[in-house]
Structure 1
Amino acid sequence: MARIVKVLLGVVLVLGGVLGTASAASAAPGDCSSAGWVLRSGQVTNTSTGARVGVVATYANSCDQYWAQVKLDKALGEGQWANAFVDVYVDGVLAGRLTCASADGGNAEVSKGQTSCYTGYFTTYSYGVTFQSHAYAYNYPSRLFASGITAQRCSRLMCDN
C-alpha cells in the first residue's frame, strides 16, 4: 500500500509540475534570479578521516525554484566522481529525487578535473512539499569516500532550525 501511495505521489508531482527538468544555470522564467541563494548547506566529509572535502547546499530563487549543488575543495582525480541529490517529499513521503545527471536537468556528475555539479530544479508553491540535499563522492569501482547532507529539510524559502 505504501508503495502505491509513493508511486501515486510521484505521478502527481510530475503531472502537477512540481519536478522540473530545466537546468539551474539556465535562465529562469520571467524575472527570476537564476543565481539564487543558499537556503541550507552542509559539509561533505571524508568517510574515513572525517576531514572536510567540500560542501553541499540547497539553493532557492525568487520563483520558488529549488536545487542542490556540491562544491568540492579540490578537483577530483582519475577514477573519482561525485554527485549531488535533492530529495523531494510530499507530506513527509519521498516522492522524487533530482541529481546532477543531465537527464534530470543538471550539468552532469563531477568527474576528473572538476569540482562541482548542480541538479536540475523543481518548482513548488506548497508548504507540504519539503526537500533535502545530499552529496556523495566515489573512487572506482563505486567505493564511497566522502558524503554530506544538509542538516534539515526545507520548504518554500525556509528551513527547520
Structure 2
Amino acid sequence: MKTLGILLSTAGLAGVGAFALATPAQAVEAANCPGARTISSAQIFRDNKPPGWGDIRLIRDSCSQYWAEVTMDSRLPQYALTSAYLIQYGGSNNGRVLSCDSAGGNGAVGPGERTCRTPKVKSLDGRTTFVAMAREFHNYGGGYQKISENRTARTR
C-alpha cells in the first residue's frame, strides 16, 4: 500500500511539473503580445431563441494576432459539444476556417467544460477581415446535430 501511495504522489508531482513547463511559454507569448481585447462579440442562442447561453468573441492582440473564443454560461451537459470558428476573408488564405480543434487551438468544448479558442492568426496586411462563429451540437443517441449557431460582425 505504501508503494501505491508513493507511486501516486510521484505521478501527481510529474503532472504538476508538466503543467509548470507549459506555463512559461504561455507567459512569454502573453508578455510579448499584451493588450488582447475583444473587437466583436455576439450571444449564442439555443435553437436561435433567447435567452443566451454563452458568447462568441473575436479577439485581437497588440501583435495583430486574431482568434475566436467561445465561452458558455455554464458547463456543457454530457450530450453537448461546442466549438468556435475563425473565418478569414482576404489575403492568401481567403475563406480559411479554423476551429478550436485545429492545430494551435485548445480543443472543442466538451461535457463539463465551458470555453475554447481557435489558433491565433497573424494579419498585418490591413485588408484581411475576420469573423468569429460558434456552433453548439447535441447528441441524444443519433449523432451530433447542430442546434445553434451565431457569429460576430465581420471586422478587422
TM class by smaller structure = 0.7 to 0.9
Contact 1:82–1:109 (Cα < 8 Å) also in 2: yes
1:139 alignment partner in structure 2: 138
**Deviation digits for residues 128-158 of structure 1, max 9, x if unmatched?**
11110000011012222222210x2112xxx
**Pairwise CA RMSD:** 2.1
The answer to whether the aligner puts 1:148 opposite 2:150 as a matched pair is yes
Q: TM-score, normalised by structure 1?
A: 0.72
The correspondence of residues 70-149 of structure 1 with structure 2, limited to 5 A, is 70-90=70-90, 94-101=94-101, 103-140=102-139, 141-149=143-151
Residues 29 and 38 from structure 1, CA distance in 2 versus in 1: closer, same or farther, beyond 3 angstroms? closer
The amino acid of 1:31's aligned partner reads N
Q: CA deviation at 1:76?
A: 0.5
The amino acid of 2:146's aligned partner reads L
2:42 alignment partner in structure 1: 42
Distance 2:29 2:60 in 1: 11
Question: Rg larger in 1 or in 2?
Answer: 2
Q: CA deviation at 1:86?
A: 0.6
Q: CA deviation at 1:32?
A: 1.2
**Deviation digits for residues 51-107 of structure 1, max 9, x if unmatched?**
20100000011100010000001111112100000100116x843111101x43110
Gap regions ≥5 residues in structure 2? 1-24
Distance 2:99 2:64 in 1: 18
Percent of residue pairs bearing the same amino acid type: 24
Q: CA deviation at 1:29?
A: 7.8
Gap regions ≥5 residues in structure 1? 1-24, 156-161
Q: TM-score, normalised by structure 2?
A: 0.74
| Structure having greater relative contact order (Cα 8 Å, sep ≥ 6) | 1
Bigger proportion of residues as helix: 2
Contact 2:48–2:149 (Cα < 8 Å) also in 1: no
Bigger proportion of residues as strand: 1
1:31 alignment partner in structure 2: 32
Does the residue aligned with 1:95 lie in a helix, a strand or coil? Answer: coil
The answer to whether the aligner puts 1:60 opposite 2:77 as a matched pair is no
Q: CA deviation at 1:30?
A: 7.0
Distance 1:111 1:127 in 2: 35
Contact 1:46–1:52 (Cα < 8 Å) also in 2: yes
The amino acid of 1:115's aligned partner reads R
Distance 1:143 1:71 in 2: 20
Distance 2:107 2:94 in 1: 23
Residues 37 and 80 from structure 1, CA distance in 2 versus in 1: closer, same or farther, beyond 3 angstroms? same
